[in-house]
Chain A
């Protein structure tokens, strides 16, 4: 963190590499959703317009698969980065669910109902962020596996009977819908519409948040940085 940042009360929350990964994820998931739902809801006139826009069923499939391969590359890179890099390893440790997250969750409910005095004190990642992270990861893995099965349908059917592929198809679609709901209702609310960040938490672009926001929303992280003399 530069001195200028400190002077302006800014704290880095997302490094450049994480922002690139996040941006890729945003773009690729959007492409996959647009091409995927167009096929899933092909009876809908908007979907039909999208399929024509994407150059017909065949080109739609090519776009969908190219985006999927790029997303997988992004995911593999991210996994290696989280497991082995100096920046990633501590991040991953902070992302695991602990018993404390459940306590925090119930405390926040009680706090909002007025039966608890204190709002839970979060570290860098609270239960909301962890739920988002693992939910998305699990969903993407499930979609990816079923997607590859469907892509290489003849190969898959060397090992699995047809009804397994029928299941893969329905899981692929509905899991996509689930991910979409998670992104639009949960993530967009938390990073755009939540009163503490409205209209937007800027960290996905600038990488930085205000020290004041960190103190209110993630007090443990704030105190940790202060203790390390970084604030």
Chain B
């Protein structure tokens, strides 16, 4: 009886072992017996062909090269039918989670196929660490990786994306030039501003490029400037949720950001007045925040304004007096345009500047309230010149009238005394 029992256990063990042996997981070598063939391909239903070959060397050099095919292709056995999709999230859970929250991921989840999945940016068997200069996600390669789709006009139209000009502008911007021309790793590439896995359009509050997040985002690389900005009237307003307060991009632009010395820059010496006046020449903003009016036209009519317009870079523009990232209202004792500080501010260019520089308003609207003296002189001259012209014309007319009258009366006699 026991003998039979043992025999049954033995048979079962042998059968079980045979079963396990039959289902044993294939190694890389076994997979490559088929997939090492460079001509191996599959014809897809739409007629295109998909290469099924894997280059061993490329795979071994990749970040996953030390592993096995079955780590990702979990259902692989030899031979096999079409395998399930690879799930990177099994290991990279956090990245996948952020991806599903992004614009790319949300569309992907709906079954849209022309949005990028992991491998579109990272690669498949050739994935490398982002620190590796040959990785698609290496800092200097990222622009090209994103532009594979974001230069495609069909996609632009389909998803209402920013057009090619916006994309091209980045390449000429100070950030684009620094990474492309100089190969500077510290220069901002797409993901530094837009994020990587969690990319969202700027109108969503969670987006890195949402207005409220922009100063903090730029401050990742420009922390010193962020510190100044946060203390300024613009920064404080922005943090307090005042929508009109400018953030970095309102003055500097986005993809078009250029160096201050570049004539095309929105903050170049000559263009700055126009950039500031985009808000400060707006009636609605001046009224809402009780700011003085006509700041732009009165500046452009001043000698500084005219000189800057004609390219004299040493003439003062807005920033020369008001500051740049640290702008404060004139009522603030720390402001460079506070009356008490004006002699020092003017003194940057006019070394002899003294207290008299602060006695009088600077580029204000000519009105009885703001500039009574100038207003009165202007009225006086307008009336005086007008009256003089009228008197001249009257005198001249009277003279011609007299001559005409006398000629009518005395025409037969010819010449008269006065002519």
Contact = CB atoms under 8 A, between A and B. Distances in A.
Given A154-B350, A186-B392, A160 B356 contact: yes
A216 to B, nearest CB: 6
Contact of B417 (A39, A119, A167, A174): A119
A58 interface: yes
Given A158-B356, A162-B357, A181-B385, A195 B374 contact: no
Contact of A114 (B353, B389, B400, B405): B405
Interface residues of A, number: 45
Contacts of B301: 42-43
Interface in A164-180: 164-167, 170-171, 174-175, 177-178
B402 A157 contact: no
Contact of B374 (A157, A170, A182, A185): A170
A159 B359 CA distance: 12
Interface in B205-246: none
A166 B358 contact: no
B241 to A, nearest CB: 38
Interface stretch (A5-13, A80-88, A105-113, A202-210): A105-113
Contact of B402 (A51, A112, A171): A112
Interface stretch (B16-24, B74-82, B252-260, B376-384): B376-384
Nearest to A216: B419
Interface in B331-365: 350-354, 356-362
A46 B30 CA distance: 85
B402 A189 contact: no
B381 to A, nearest CB: 4
Contacts of A56: 310-312
Nearest to B364: A166
A174 B377 CA distance: 9
Nearest to A177: B385
B373 A163 contact: yes
Contacts of A108: 399
A76 interface: no
Contacts of B385: 174, 177-178, 181
Interface size class of B (residues with CB under 8 A): 35 or more
B360 A163 contact: yes
B306 interface: yes
B312 A57 contact: yes
Contact of A161 (B307, B310, B359): B359
B378 A174 contact: yes
A166 B396 CA distance: 36
A91 interface: no
A189 B392 CA distance: 10
Contacts of B10: none
Given A112-B398, A155-B352, A167-B373, A162 B358 contact: yes
A155 B352 CA distance: 8
A153 B351 CA distance: 12
Interface in A123-177: 153-155, 157-167, 170-171, 174-175, 177
Contact of B381 (A112, A159, A161, A178): A178
Contacts of A195: 400, 403, 419
A81 to B, nearest CB: 29
Given A162-B356, A178-B385, A58 B312 contact: yes
A114 B358 CA distance: 60
Contacts of A217: 418-419
Contacts of B358: 162
B393 interface: yes
A118 B402 CA distance: 12
B371 interface: yes
Contacts of A159: 356
Contacts of A196: 419
Interface string B129-160: 00000000000000000000000000000000
Contact of A178 (B356, B359, B361, B388): B388
A158 B312 contact: no
Contact of B352 (A114, A158, A182, A216): A158
Which 3 A-B residue pairings sit nearest by Cβ, starting from the closest?
A: A112-B402, A161-B359, A119-B418
